[in-house]
Structures are given as C-alpha cells and as structure tokens.
Amino acid sequence: MKIFLDTADVKAVRRFAGMGVVDGVTTNPTLLAREGGDPEAAMAEMVGAVAGDVSLEVVSTDSASMIEEGKKLRRHGGNVVVKVPMTSDGLRACSALSSEEIPVNVTLVFSANQALLAAKAGAAYVSPFIGRLDDAGQDGMGLVRDMAEIFENYEMGAEILVASVRHPVHVLEAAKAGADVATVPPAVLEKMLRHPLTDIGLAAFLADWEAARAARAGK
Ligand code: E4P
C-alpha cells in the first residue's frame, strides 16, 4: 500500500520524504489555510518536494470553472492530481479532465454508491473519508471494504485512497482491507514509526556497548 502525506506543511513532507516513506501528498483548502502564507507558493513547493502524485483541490463549484482551475493547477507540475468534490459538477469535471489524461482524485466520498460513480467517471483516485464517518457513528473501514470488493468485481481502474485517517490502526486496517493508498497526517506517520520497545532496546544496546568500551579502557 502506498502512503501519502495529508498535509500542506512542506517541511513535514521533506522530512518524511527523506526517509523514503512518502509516495505522494494530498492537501485541501483547510490544510492550506491552516499553514497561512501564500497557498499558490505552498502548492508549488509541495509539488517539487516529492516525485509522486500531489493532489491539489479546486475551490470552484461549477464544472466549467473546476475544469479551468484543474488545468491551472496542473501547471504546477506533471505529478499534480486534480482533486474535485463528490458532486454532480465534480463528476462532470472528473469525466472531462480524465478524458484529457489529467488524473483526478474525487474527494469527500462517504458511500459505496458515490465511490462507484466516481470510478465510473474516470477518477484515478477515489477518497473515502473514514475518520469523519467514524466520528458520525458509521463504519468508515466498512466503506473501504465495500469499495475494494466493488472495484475488484468490475476491474475498475480507480485506486482507493483512504482519507481522514485519525490514527495508526486506521492505516493498518486500510492495508488489510486492500486499499491502494492511505493518506496520513504527519502526526500519525510519526506515531507509526515509533514503538517504546524500540527506544528501550536501543538504549540498552548503546549502554552495553559503552560499558564494554569503558571496561576495555580500564584494563
Ligand atoms: C484527504 O484528501 C483530506 O485532505 C483529508 O484526509 C481530510 O481529513 P480530515 O477529516 O482529518 O479533515
């Protein structure tokens, strides 16, 4: 399963990309607004920071403007994926952009029927928001499992991009459910790489090494 970073924080992208664990980035207007500064500059930096796909979201709501905005966003780089919302206009824009070989990520997907329509409209990625479904008392991961079954049944080309990830168990469950990608906030990726037994084990190795070195020096 690919791991994308869900952020507009370029420093975080560079830090984790340097570890070789980032396959791409997703961002959204909220994340860009949270960072402050010039969103265009932030998007350009993000696109240059990783070789993989970077989803940049349109803020237009009618299909003609979404298509125009999507084409503008693509000028940031060949790895830009245009993110459109799961609306009728979003599907129209998805179909038009996809037919021009511009990859599209359909976002804000909360049901299997929405996912099916997004895949039929030619989406490269379909993004179920599992954390928000869990927050609403529904089974977010159940949606991912349904999508995996449907996409496999009909050999649909769209990739399942699990979004709205809240904790490392979501990532694990997404991988077990057969998701293609999980997009993960930097704080969750940080938790994924840590384990207290790793820290305890490393401290013990270094202490034993130091004690042996001191003993040799004392002879
Ligand atoms: C994905 O593309 C979205 O940016 C993101 O996962 C939304 O997550 P949230 O529910 O934490 O806002």
Enter the DSSP assignment of 37: S
Examine residue 208 and state whether it is found in any structural domain, yes or no: no
Query: Is pLDDT above 90 for 93?
Result: yes
Examine residue 80 and state whether it is found in any structural domain, yes or no: yes
Examine residue 218 and state whether it is found in any structural domain, yes or no: no
Structural element, H or E, at residue 185: none
Examine residue 40 and state whether it is found in any structural domain, yes or no: yes
**Rounded distance from Cα 130 to ligand 1 centre (Å):** 9
CA distance 89 to 2: 29
Q: 66-89 in b/e burial notation, b at 16+ Cβ within 10 A?
A: bbebbeebbebeebbbbbbbbbeb
Asked if residue 131 has its Cβ within 6 Å of ligand 1, the reply is: yes
Q: Kindly state the average pLDDT of the residues 90-115.
A: 98
Examine residue 95 and state whether it is found in any structural domain, yes or no: yes
The residue segments making up the domain with residue 183 are 2-194
- The tens digit of pLDDT for each residue in 203-218 reads 999 999 999 999 999 8
Examine residue 55 and state whether it is found in any structural domain, yes or no: yes
**Rounded distance from Cα 164 to ligand 1 centre (Å):** 4
Query: Is pLDDT above 80 for 78?
Result: yes
CATH number of the structural domain spanning residue 6: 3.20.20.70
Examine residue 200 and state whether it is found in any structural domain, yes or no: no
Q: What is the pLDDT at residue 153?
A: 97
What is the share, in percent, of the chain residues with pLDDT greater than 90? 98
Q: What is the pLDDT at residue 25?
A: 98
pTM of structure: 0.95
Ligand 1 mutation target, pool 3, 13, 28, 80, most atoms within 8 A of CB: 28
- The tens digit of pLDDT for each residue in 80-92 reads 999 999 999 999 9
Examine residue 149 and state whether it is found in any structural domain, yes or no: yes
- Domain count along the chain: 1
Angle formed by the axes of helices 88-99 and 112-120, nearest 10°: 30
**Rounded distance from Cα 163 to ligand 1 centre (Å):** 5
11 belongs to the catalytic site: no
Q: What is the pLDDT at residue 51?
A: 94
- When pLDDT is cut at 50, 70 and 90, the band that residue 182 belongs to is very high
